[in-house]
Amino acid sequence: MRSILLGTALAAGLLATSAQADPWDMFDGGKLLATGGVSQVEGAGGGGLANWALITGYGTRDGIGGNVHYTGVFLPDYNLQSAGVAVGLFDRVELSYAWQGFDTQDVGAALGLGKGYTFHQNIFGAKVKLVGDAVYDQDQWLPQISVGLQHKENDRGPVIAFVGGKASTGTDYYVSASKLFLEQSLLVNTTLRFTKANQFGILGFGGDKHNDYSAQFEGSAAYLFSKRFAVGAELRTKPSNLSIAKEQDAWDIFAAYFFSKNLSATLAYADLGNIVIKNHQGGAYLSLQAGL
């Protein structure tokens, strides 16, 4: 009986403490500015095109962080928009969601789909940090390493089948390694992605040429001129699964400014290569991120 009474009293004390605690205290914002990265075009924490091993937000191992983002990629013949939300839990787990809209503009009319025909995609992501810490392990060679996935659902199944795509849904798997060299003000990242996606999934998954997973490379390098301002470049390879067009690698050159831990902006020139019947699809990339 005594142990039951003690247990009851302890539980009551814990409940009282929890009731008094401010839930906003969980958003501790303890990580260094810019170390949560920005919002990658598919919603994960990273660069514009590439996934990073870093966990999004500014929550430490004792807290959580989160953000929302809007991204627009304005190409000569297409427009890509992305909006989403991501949460970092205890600097260990990241959960994300992004919505994409890909407007074919005049190309849609040329293909018989109608001017402004738009592909939509929902992307659900998860990332887990396995080992290392990109910021605090400065005296170790081991980078921060994370694994993750992005499950993508496209709403244009009949059109995807018509152009040779095998599926309108698919899942990418990846492993990322990130290292921040504080003395050199340099961050580098490499990611190996296993994917069937055509144009990031906008044109479905698999094709009449190839329908197996392939390993693709994503690389990033960013130089921090100050704690608020960074410039860098990224490269992302892509499979070429469809006979309708040879898919090319994507790359960008970016500048990111962190006004505070609550707001950042990224401006870039992004080149996505050939997209269906149009070559040289390079243009402005703009992303805004707000969070805690």
Q: Which two three-digit tokens encode residue 216?
A: 């693709």
Residue 22's pLDDT band, with cuts at 50, 70 and 90, is low
What is the per-residue pLDDT for 138?
Answer: 86
Residue 5: pLDDT band (50, 70, 90) is very low
pLDDT of amino acid 24: 67
Helix, strand and coil percent figures for the chain, each rounded to 5: 15, 50, 40
Helices H / strands E in the chain, number of each: 3, 14
Chain segment 258-268, per-residue pLDDT in tens:
999 999 999 99
Q: Taking residues 61-84, what's their average pLDDT? A: 95
Residue 6: the pLDDT is: 45
Report the candidate in 251, 253, 249, 220 with the shortest Cα–Cα distance to residue 237: 249
Task: Give the residue, 147 or 28, on which the prediction is more confident.
Answer: 147
Span 227-267, pLDDT tens digits: 899 999 999 999 999 998 889 999 999 999 999 999 999 99
Q: Report the C-alpha gap between 264 and 21 in whole angstroms.
A: 29
pTM: 0.89
pLDDT band at 20 (very low <50, low <70, confident <90, very high): low
Please provide the average confidence, as pLDDT, over all residues in the chain. Answer: 90
Please tell me the CATH superfamily of domain 29-291, with its number.
monomeric porin ompg (2.40.160.40)
Does residue 21 carry a pLDDT above 90? no
Residue 29 is predicted with a pLDDT of 72
Name beta bridge partners: 58: none
Closest CA to 170 of 191, 200, 148: 200
Region of poorest pLDDT, from 89-98, 130-139, 200-209 = 130-139
Q: How far apart are the first and last CA of the chain?
A: 46
pLDDT score, position 62 = 87
pLDDT value for 140: 85
- Give the residue from 104, 38, 95 showing the smallest Cα distance to 71: 38
Task: Inform me whether the pLDDT recorded for 224 exceeds 50.
Answer: yes
**Helix H segments across 46-131?**
105-110
Tokens coding 202: 């906008």
Predicted confidence (pLDDT) at residue 282 exceeds the cutoff of 70: yes
Q: What is the DSSP string of 176-234?
A: EEEEEETTTTEEEEEEEEEE-BSGGGTT-B--SS--S-EEEEEEEEEEESSSSEEEEEE
Question: 234 has which bridge partners?
Answer: 220, 252
Residue 23: is its pLDDT beyond 90? Answer: no
Nearest partner of 100 among 165, 173, 39, judged by Cα:
39
pLDDT of amino acid 25: 72
- Which residue stretches of the chain are H helix? 2-20, 105-110, 157-162
User: For 139-194, how does the pLDDT look when each residue is reduced to its tens digit (9 = 90+)?
Assistant: 888 999 999 999 999 999 999 999 899 999 999 999 999 999 999 999 999 999 99
DSSP label at 123? E
Return the DSSP state at 24.
G
